[in-house]
Structure formats: structure tokens, C-alpha cells
Amino acid sequence: MSVTDEKTANRDYPLPHHNNSGVDDVERIREAMRNIDSDVAALGNIKEDKTTVAAMQLELNQKLPISVAEQMQSEISHIRALTYSNL
């Protein structure tokens, strides 16, 4: 009997299905949990990155002349936009 390959709408995690055998669905659930774990870890990294960027901006504001700090903030904003647009 073939496996019914149903997935979640947003992240394509494999879903169990009543037509599948328990053995097949156990593997599908394990795959989904590994994918969810990876996604949650990635979200944690993004939060850390945002905190680091905010700390860098604060440090720049305190140490550099205003014109240099503004230029550096512009560069950081550009890098942030490139980084987060790929997620």
C-alpha cells in the first residue's frame, strides 16, 4: 500500500494520515519533528543576531562621531536587510 504524502501548508512538514500504517507515520512524524527543531533553532539564531546588531549600533553611537555612526548604521541596516530577506 502506498503512503499518503500529506504536508502542512506553510512549511511542508509531513503529516500522518489515517490511511498510512503506523510504521510509515512514525517515520513521517520523526521527520516533521526534526524539521521543526531546525526551524526553532534558526529562529533563536535570528533573535541572537538581532540582539547583537542592536548592541553594535548602541556601541557605535557611543564611540564614534555622529557622521561615522550614521554611516555605519546605514551599512548595518543594509546587511540586516540582505540577511533577513533570505529567510
pLDDT at residue 87, rounded to an integer? 55
The domain locations on the chain are: 22-85
Please state whether 12 falls in left (phi above 0), alpha (psi between -120 and 50) or beta: left
CA separation for the pair 1, 5 (Å, rounded): 12
- Overall pTM > 0.75: no
Query: What does each of the 87 residues of the chain score in pLDDT, given as a tens digit?
Result: 799 999 999 889 999 999 999 999 999 999 999 999 888 888 777 777 777 777 777 776 676 666 666 776 777 777 777 766 655
